[in-house]
Amino acid sequence: MIMPVNWYEGRISKIDETAPHVRRFWVEIPELEHFNFQAGQFVTLDLPIGDKRLQRWRSYSIASAPDGSNQFELCIVRASEGQGTRYIFDEMTVGSTMRFKGPDGAFVLPEQPEKDLVFICTGTGIAPFRSMILDLKNTGRLTRKTHLIFGCRTEADILYRDEFEALAREIPGFQYDVALSRQENWPGHRGHVHEIYLQQYADKRADVSFYLCGWSSMIDEAVANLLVTLGYDRSQIHYELYG
C-alpha cells in the first residue's frame, strides 16, 4: 500500500550565519500546530529551480530535536557548484516560504539505546546527531555513554561548538572530540576523524553502536575501518549518506 505524501508550506522565521558557507535556517509550518518527527530524520525541499524532480528536490537532515512545536531547524552548507544551495543562500530570506515534504528516513535511534553510542560525522553531517543527542537529553534517555566525533577543516568551521562543549562539561557520560584537517595551531586532534575512533575503539566491544553521517568517501573509509581493521560486526554500524 502506497502511503500519501504530505507536502507543506514552511516559512523561514530565522537565519543564522553559523560558519563560513554554512547557515542555520529555522522553519515554521503555519498550517500545523505540531510537526512530528523522529530525531535523525530529514525533509525534502522542492525548490523552484527546474522542471524535473531531480533538479528541484534537495534533502536535508533536521538539526533540531522534536519539541512538540511546528518548527524545525536545518543546517545547510553552500555547495561550490549546483543551483540548489545557490538558490537557498541567495534567494531565501526571513519570511520566505519553502515547499517541503517529510519527515522521512530510518536513520534513527532505538527508543531506549542499550549500547554505548559513537557518532562520527563531518561538516553538516552533524545535523542528525545534534537532533539525536538533544532528544536523548531532553527526554532523559541519555543514559549510555555517548561519544560525538566531529571533523572539519579549521576552527571557524566547528558547528555547534559551544553547545557540545557545554554538554561535555555537564554530562559525565558525554564525550566530544573534534579533528581539524587544515589547522596546525590546534591543541586538539589534527587530521581526520578516523584516527580518533581507530585509537579509542581498537579493542572490539559488543556493547557499542557506531552511527556515521557525511559524504560517501568518509563513510566508505569508516565502514571499512570498523569492519576490516577493527573487526566490528556489520549490525553495529549505521550510516546516512550525504552524497
Name the nearest CA neighbour of 58 among 95, 89, 93, 85. Answer: 85
Q: Which CATH number characterizes residue 164's domain?
A: 3.40.50.80
Q: Is the pTM of this model over 0.75?
A: yes
Domain membership of residue 1 (yes or no) is: no
State the distance between the two ends of the chain, measured CA to CA, in whole angstroms: 29
Q: What is the pLDDT of residue 241?
A: 84
Which of 80, 104, 128 represents a domain boundary (last residue)? 104
Q: What is the pLDDT of residue 53?
A: 86
Domain membership of residue 99 (yes or no) is: yes
146 and 183 co-located in one domain: yes
Domain membership of residue 120 (yes or no) is: yes
Domain membership of residue 175 (yes or no) is: yes
155 and 219 co-located in one domain: yes
Phi, psi of 42 (to 5 degrees): -130, 165
235 and 125 co-located in one domain: yes
Which of 81, 104, 127 represents a domain boundary (last residue)? 104
The residue ranges of the chain whose pLDDT is under 50 are: 1
The C-alpha atoms of residue 229 and residue 159 are separated, in whole angstroms, by: 29
- To 10 degrees, what angle do helices 193-200 and 216-224 make? 20
Domain membership of residue 235 (yes or no) is: yes
219 and 129 co-located in one domain: yes
Domain membership of residue 110 (yes or no) is: no
85 and 135 co-located in one domain: no
Which of 61, 77, 104 represents a domain boundary (last residue)? 104
35 and 124 co-located in one domain: no
Q: Where are the alpha helices (DSSP H) in the chain?
A: 53-56, 83-91, 127-138, 161-170, 193-200, 216-224
**Strand partners for 119:** 148, 211
The C-alpha atoms of residue 9 and residue 99 are separated, in whole angstroms, by: 5
Spatial contact of 66 and 37, defined as CB atoms under 8 Å apart: yes
The C-alpha atoms of residue 76 and residue 228 are separated, in whole angstroms, by: 33
Domain membership of residue 73 (yes or no) is: yes
80 and 159 co-located in one domain: no
Domain membership of residue 55 (yes or no) is: yes
92 and 149 co-located in one domain: no
Q: Which CATH number characterizes residue 81's domain?
A: 2.40.30.10
Q: What is the pLDDT of residue 82?
A: 80
Name the domain count of the chain: 2
126 and 88 co-located in one domain: no
CA dist list (Å): 208 to 118, 119, 136, 146: 7, 11, 16, 9
223 and 135 co-located in one domain: yes
Q: What is the pLDDT of residue 81?
A: 83
Q: Which domain holds residue 13?
A: 7-104
Q: What is the pLDDT of residue 4?
A: 63
